[in-house]
Copies of this chain bind each other. A is one copy, B any other.
């Protein structure tokens, strides 16, 4: 998403930032996990100082929470709170096709075909983590359909604030493989619909498609989470 960094320091900063963000969103660092600055400094062969800058940004974005004397903790996520983020993401999804749409080039179409293949393979293998990765890659590709950079930045930020909830919810279920199958199939339909919209050169249709899928995907998640909470009481 970023341009070529002006310096090595900035490149490293972006690299560490992207790495940690991905770990948080793939639940390698689950909610509540404590990160130690010194451990990270050692892993990335640097001192605490550059690490602290990355952690500060992740904290500003709501993925971490630093407490003096305690540690830096991966924030928890509550689906009722995140419904606000979803409401916003649903509106922004439509804007991606409306504000400065960029016709996809051949390279992008090729990537889409590859992703569709990965998705088909997933449908038979059913790997939650791999699904989360594919979903992330697909989202970042969709972002390239608009040249409106602030829209891209904000959409990305909101995506990374919400995407963990799916893996977290799914992992709590006994029948999570059924949930996953449902989700992969829904995602497969979304990819197909998006590709059809792109082929018809109608980028605003891409927005409508994604809006619809995001809406149904979220209400499905909400229903699951609520039935889960109900089950907790029993």
Q: A150's contact among B88, B95, B99, by CB below 8 Å, is which?
A: B88
State in angstroms the CA–CA spacing of A154 and B151 once bound together.
10
User: Per a CB cutoff under 8 Å, which of B53, B68, B100, B148 touches A56?
Assistant: B53
Give the CA-CA distance A150 to B83 in the complex, in Å: 10
A41 to chain B, nearest CB (A): 16
Task: Please provide the chain A residues from 51 to 104 with a CB less than 8 Å away from any CB of chain B in the complex.
Answer: 53, 56-57, 60, 67-68, 84-85, 87-88, 91, 95, 99-100
| B residues in contact with A84, CB < 8 Å | 99-100, 147-151
Q: How many residues of A contact B (CB 8 A)?
A: 25
Scan A156-194; emit 1 where CB is below 8 A from any B CB, else 0: 001001000000000000000000000000000000000
Complex Cα distance, B67 from A87, in Å, reads 38
Besides A6-B67, A88-B148, 17 other A-B contacts (C-beta < 8 A) = A53-B53, A56-B56, A56-B57, A57-B57, A57-B60, A84-B99, A84-B100, A84-B148, A84-B149, A85-B150, A87-B148, A88-B150, A88-B151, A88-B154, A91-B91, A150-B158, A154-B154
A7: Cβ under 8 A from any B Cβ: yes
A9 at the A/B interface (Cβ < 8 Å)?
yes
Residues of B close to A149: CB separation below 8 A: 84
Residue contacts A-B, CB under 8 angstroms, 29 given: A6-B67, A7-B68, A9-B68, A53-B53, A53-B56, A56-B56, A56-B57, A57-B57, A60-B60, A84-B100, A84-B147, A84-B148, A84-B149, A84-B150, A84-B151, A85-B150, A87-B99, A87-B100, A87-B148, A88-B95, A88-B99, A88-B148, A88-B150, A91-B91, A91-B95, A91-B99, A150-B158, A150-B161, A154-B154
CA distance A67 to B158 in the complex (A): 28
Question: How many copies are assembled?
Answer: 2
Closest Cβ neighbor of A90 among chain B residues: B99
Q: How far is the CA of A9 from the CA of B149 in the complex (A)?
A: 33
**Docked CA distance A95–B7 (Å):** 39
Report chain B residues within 8 Å CB of A56: 53, 56-57
Closest CB of chain B to A81's CB: distance in Å?
A: 9
Q: How far, in whole Å, are A6 and B73 apart by their CA atoms in the complex?
A: 15
The closest CB in chain B to the CB of A66 belongs to B10
Q: Which residues of B contact A85 (CB under 8 A)?
A: 150
